[in-house]
């Protein structure tokens, strides 16, 4: 759309800038401050430069948490995006069935994160939970408190359960914007179901799917409460993702300096990856 | 399709049933898979409801599909104990505050981004967006110190302001999408007719994007209602939200799972009510005005 050049528009965005400066810039500056100091107590702090950054980048625990985090985000994106699209394709387009399915589908999105964790902590238990019992009845040994693979399966299935609806609803919104005429034209041309998907539905969903990938990447990369409630990062440190590691450092061990350096690196990684996605998104919506 | 297959295949029953089967299966496979998926979706929630109706002892000893000795005792405890029900009030009050604050700052900003070019517009837009990417864990300690320093610690306002960190950028983003869908000619006509900017904005423009405002409010409600980490850090006793009250159900005999499950079910209800009211806009809303 054509936009007018007018710098007075700054007055309109001033409230947002002030609010975000208060709730983001000041705290971020505090983090930067911590990251270059060694703090022993009130009044006892020493400037130590980039030492904490060097230490964090060399910490093998951090490396492992980072690899785990990448694996987790990769796995959930690889499952949730195709599954969400399939669910969206299967949803009825209109009528009460459509409304009902959407209400059921959206329900997990509005459950507080720790309640999601609580639900799965109980639901996946081998003795008292439906999910855990069914898997064990199939003859597969499943116990998420002792076995790392079970713990990973539980966390991944929980995330798929929790967030696939977001992808499905986004994809559904994209599908609904396709005029009926496109489908009629495809039917006249004798296009196969796969061809309709490939040449009509997928292009129309491209921009909403980019949003879905962006949101899912950011949120899965910051995941904290759900795995923390279910496994507490265990067994051992098998499900200790970046946020869990960070909170342990900052609140558990009160290592403010290293935690702050870690925070900044963490933030920069998300920023970098999201910038790439964001640029792609801008390019897609420009087309 | 199915009707034709049935009638034309009448003389040869064997082929007919096979044909009918394949026609039915290709037609029905979508709804069946969707049904299965919705079962997968609802079962964990059912399990929570089931446990909320049981006593802790029964929960730990039974994995039967139906609840054993169901009763509403857990719910009665929650509704008669102020420590429980006041935490719901706390949660709802910071969520409401957050929605109001977020919308009142995001509406003018989204308008500016959708209508004007100005120095640094793209940079500010991306900078806002970066805050949506900031992991709340990064901000825990600074937030605690900042809100303690200004005397807001343990008030709903502190949590509401902290949640603006991720809700304001999202709100600007969604609203900008919806506002860009409103033709510029409407603005120009209104100015030609002698409307001042505030009058035009409040009486003409906002009603035009009310679907977008509703959708934005829904998203702000959602992300504020479900957040745990910041809400937990910024409150202690006075403003304790329900998500935090739930993390403290440890008694002498260990965790009271029944009570925890009942509290969990009650945290799902406001969300379910909100979804019900916006069910017809939800599909459009999830496209964030950008389809």
B116-150 pLDDT, tens per residue?
998 888 888 888 888 887 888 778 888 888 888 88
Is A114 part of a structural domain of the chain? yes
Q: Tell me the per-residue pLDDT of B50-79, one tens digit each, with 9 for 90 and over.
A: 988 988 777 777 777 888 778 888 898 888
Instruction: Tell me if A141 is assigned to some domain.
Output: yes
Q: What is the largest CA-CA distance in chain A?
A: 79
User: Is B279 found in the same domain as B212?
Assistant: yes
Is B132 near chain A, with CB under 8 Å? yes
Q: Is B229 left (phi over 0), alpha (psi -120 to 50) or beta?
A: alpha
β-sheet bridge partners, residue A41: A44
Could you tell me if residue A167 is inside a domain?
yes
**Domain-embedded: residue B226:** yes
Residue B245: CA count within 13 A, CB half-sphere: 26
Whether B263 and B246 have beta carbons less than 8 Å apart is answered as yes
Asked if B37 lies within 8 A of A208 by C-beta distance, the reply is: no
Does a structural domain hold residue B262? yes
- Cβ contacts (< 8 Å) between B280 and chain A: which residues? 99
- Residue of A30, A32, A122 for testing the chain B interface, max B β-carbons within 10 Å: A122
A227 in contact with B, Cβ within 8 Å:
no
What's the CATH code of the domain at A172?
Answer: 1.10.3720.10
Q: Is residue B113 part of a domain?
A: yes
Contact B115 A9 (CB under 8 A): yes
pLDDT digit string (tens) for A112-132? 888 898 889 888 888 888 888
Residue B110 has pLDDT above 90, yes or no: yes
Domain hosting B146: range is 79-286
Measured between beta carbons, the chain B residues lying within 8 angstroms of A20 are: 128, 131, 164-165, 168-169
Tell me the per-residue pLDDT of A129-157, one tens digit each, with 9 for 90 and over.
Answer: 888 888 888 878 788 888 888 899 999 99
Q: Is residue A39 part of a domain?
A: no
Residue B103 within any structural domain of the chain: yes
Task: Report yes or no: A152 and A238 within 8 Å, Cβ to Cβ.
Answer: yes
The pLDDT value given to residue B13: 43
A243 to chain B nearest CA, in Å?
Answer: 6
pLDDT by residue (tens digit) across A69-101? 999 999 999 999 999 999 998 888 777 888 888
Q: How far is B28 from chain A (nearest CA, A)?
A: 10
Whether A222 sits inside 8 A of B136 (CB atoms) is yes
Asked if residues B205 and B187 have their Cβ atoms less than 8 Å apart, the reply is yes
DSSP string, A106-118: HGGGGS-HHHHHH
Work out how many domains chain A is built from and give that number: 1
- Whether the predicted pLDDT of B23 surpasses 60: no
In A, which residues are within 8 Å of B290 by CB distance? 207-208, 211, 285
* Phi, psi for residue A40 in degrees, rounded to 5: -100, -25
The answer to whether the CB atoms of A20 and B168 lie below 8 A apart is: yes
B288 near A CB under 8 A? yes
Asked whether residue B67 is domain-assigned, the answer is no
Q: How far is CA B138 from CA A46, A102, A152, A259, B153, in A?
A: 22, 34, 24, 8, 18
- Single out the residue of B62, B255, B71 nearest to residue A130, CA to CA: B62
Residue B289, pLDDT > 80, answer: no
Structural domain contains residue B62: no
- Label residue A20 by pLDDT band (50, 70, 90): confident
Span B85-104, pLDDT tens digits: 888 899 999 999 999 999 99
Picking from B37, B52, B67, the residue at the C-terminal end of a domain is B52
Could you say which of B38, B43, B121 has the minimum Cβ distance to residue A130? B43
In the three-class reduction of DSSP (H, G, I as helix; E, B as strand; rest coil), residue A174 is classed as helix
Q: Are residues B32 and B90 in the same domain?
A: no
Minimum distance, in Å, between the CA of residue A132 and any CA atom of chain B: 10
Question: Kind of pairing, strands A4-5 and B116-117?
Answer: parallel
B129 min Cα distance to partner chain A (Å): 10
* CB-CB under 8 Å, B226 with A110: yes
- Residues B23, B160, single domain; the answer is no
Q: Are residues B46 and B184 in the same domain?
A: no
- Which among B59, B165, B267 is the nearest to A111, CB-wise? B267
ipTM of this complex? 0.83
**In this structure, are B119 and B224 located in the same domain?**
yes
CA distance A244 to chain B (A): 8
Percent of chain A whose pLDDT exceeds 90: 15
Q: Where are the alpha helices (DSSP H) in A9-138?
A: 9-20, 26-35, 51-58, 60-90, 96-106, 113-123, 130-137
Q: Would residue B70 count as lying in a domain?
A: no
DSSP letters spanning chain B: -HHHHHHHTTT-HHHHHHHHHHHHHHHHHHHHHHHHHHHHHHHHHHHHHHHHTS-HHHHHH---SSPSS--SHHHHHHHH-HHHHHHHHHHHHHHHHHHHHHHHHHHHHHHHHHHEE-TTHHHHHHHHHHHHHS-HHHHHHHHHHHHHHTT-TTSHHHHHHHHHHHHHHHHHHHHHHHHHTS-HHHHHHHHHTT--HHHIIIIIIHHHTHHHHHHHHHHHHHHHHH--HHHHHT-SSTT--HHHHHTT-EETTEE-HHHHHHHHHHHHHHHHHHHHHHHHHHHHHHTTT--
Task: Count A/B contacts: CB-CB distance under 8 Å.
Answer: 290
| Owning domain of residue A174 | 60-286
B39 and B112 share one domain: no
- Give the nearest partner residue to B283 out of A31, A173, A207, using CB atoms: A173
Q: Considering the domain boundaries, does residue B64 fall inside one?
A: no
Q: Are residues B204 and B186 in contact, defined by beta-carbon separation less than 8 angstroms?
A: yes
Query: Are residue B47 and residue B116 in the same domain, yes or no?
Result: no
Q: B215-251: per-residue pLDDT in tens?
A: 888 889 988 998 888 888 888 888 888 888 887 665 5
Q: What is the arithmetic mean of pLDDT over A26-37?
A: 84
- By the CB < 8 Å criterion, does A286 face chain B? no
Backbone angles phi, psi at A7, to 5 degrees: -75, -10
Partner-chain contact B45 A266, CB within 8 Å: no
Asked if B33 and B168 sit in the same domain, the reply is no
Residue window 66-105, chain B: list those with CB within 8 Å of chain A.
Answer: 101, 104-105
**Cβ burial B108-120 (10 Å sphere, 16+ → b, else e):** bbbbbbbbbebee
- Measured CA to CA, the distance from residue B146 to residue A23 in angstroms comes to 9
- Taking 50 as the threshold, does the pLDDT of residue B11 lie above it? no
**Chain B contact present for A106, CB below 8 A:** yes
- Tell me if A14 sits within 8 A of B118, measured CB to CB: no
Q: Based on the domain organization, do B14 and B149 belong to the same domain?
A: no
- The answer on B97 and B10 residing in a single domain is no
Q: Any CB–CB contact under 8 A between B270 and chain A?
A: yes
Considering the domain architecture, whether residues B122 and B172 belong to the same structural domain is answered as yes
Report the domain count for chain B. Answer: 2
Are B154 and B231 a contacting pair, CB within 8 Å?
no
Q: Which residue in A13, A218, A229 has the most chain B C-beta atoms within 10 A of its own C-beta, making it the best mutation to test that interface?
A: A13
Provide the angle, in degrees to the nearest 10, between the axes of the packed helices A9-20 and B82-115.
150
- Both structure tokens of B189: 């006509």
Do B24 and B126 lie in a common domain?
Answer: no
User: Is residue A98 included in any domain, yes or no?
Assistant: yes
**CA dihedral sign, ordered A108, A109, A110, A111:** positive
What number of other Cβ atoms are within 10 A of residue B203's Cβ?
A: 11
| Chain A: residue whose CA lies nearest to B229 | A225
């Amino acid at each position: 759309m054509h936009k007018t050049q007018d710098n007075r528009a700054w007055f309109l965005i001033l409230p947002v800038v002030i609010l975000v400066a208060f709730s983001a810039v000041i705290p971020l500056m505090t983090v930067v401050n911590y990251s270059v100091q060694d703090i022993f107590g009130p009044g006892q702090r020493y400037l130590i430069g980039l030492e904490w950054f060097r230490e964090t980048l060399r910490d093998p625990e951090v490396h492992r948490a980072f690899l785990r985090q990448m694996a987790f985000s990769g796995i959930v994106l690889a499952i949730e995006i195709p599954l969400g699209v399939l669910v969206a394709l299967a949803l009825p387009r209109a009528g009460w069935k459509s409304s009902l399915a959407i209400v059921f589908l959206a329900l997990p999105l509005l459950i507080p994160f720790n309640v999601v964790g609580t639900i799965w902590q109980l639901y996946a238990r081998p003795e008292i939970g439906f999910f855990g019992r069914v898997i064990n009845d199939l003859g597969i040994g499943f116990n998420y408190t002792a076995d790392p693979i079970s713990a990973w399966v539980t966390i991944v299935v929980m995330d798929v359960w929790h967030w696939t609806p977001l992808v499905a609803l986004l994809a559904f919104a994209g599908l609904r914007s396709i005029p009926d005429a496109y489908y009629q034209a495809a039917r006249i041309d004798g296009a196969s179901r796969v061809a309709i998907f490939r040449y009509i539905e997928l292009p129309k969903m491209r921009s909403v799917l980019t949003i879905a990938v962006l949101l899912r990447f950011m949120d899965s990369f910051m995941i904290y409460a759900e795995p923390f409630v279910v496994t507490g990062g265990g067994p051992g440190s098998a499900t200790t993702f970046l946020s869990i590691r960070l909170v342990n450092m900052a609140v558990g061990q009160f290592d403010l300096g290293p935690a702050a350096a870690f925070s900044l690196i963490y933030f920069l990684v998300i920023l970098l990856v999201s910038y790439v996605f964001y640029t792609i998104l801008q390019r897609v919506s420009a087309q | 399709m199915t009707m034709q297959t049935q009638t034309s295949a009448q003389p040869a029953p064997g082929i007919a049933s096979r044909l009918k089967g394949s026609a039915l299966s290709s037609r029905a496979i979508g709804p069946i898979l969707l049904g299965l998926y919705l079962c997968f979706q609802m079962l964990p929630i059912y399990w929570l409801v089931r446990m909320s109706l049981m006593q802790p002892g029964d929960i730990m000893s039974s994995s039967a599909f139906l609840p054993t000795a169901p009763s509403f005792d857990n719910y009665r405890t929650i509704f008669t104990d102020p420590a429980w029900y006041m935490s719901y009030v706390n949660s709802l009050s910071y969520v409401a505050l957050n929605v109001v604050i977020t919308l009142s700052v995001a509406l003018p900003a989204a308008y500016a981004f959708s209508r004007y070019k100005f120095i640094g517009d793209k940079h500010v837009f991306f900078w806002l967006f970066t805050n949506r990417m900031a992991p709340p864990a990064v901000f825990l300690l600074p937030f605690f110190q900042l809100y303690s320093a200004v005397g807001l610690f343990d008030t709903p306002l502190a949590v509401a302001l902290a949640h603006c960190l991720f809700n304001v950028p999202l709100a600007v983003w969604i609203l900008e999408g919806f506002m860009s869908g409103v033709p510029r000619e409407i603005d120009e006509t209104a100015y030609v007719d002698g409307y001042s900017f505030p009058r035009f904005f409040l009486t003409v423009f906002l009603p035009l994007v009310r679907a977008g405002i509703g959708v934005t409010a829904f998203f702000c409600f959602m992300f504020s209602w479900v957040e745990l980490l910041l809400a937990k850090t910024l409150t202690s006793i006075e403003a304790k939200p329900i998500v935090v009250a739930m993390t403290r159900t440890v008694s002498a005999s260990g965790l009271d799972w029944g009570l925890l499950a009942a509290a969990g079910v009650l945290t799902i209800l406001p969300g379910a009510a909100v979804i019900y009211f916006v069910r017809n806009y939800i599909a459009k809303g999830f496209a964030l005005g950008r389809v």
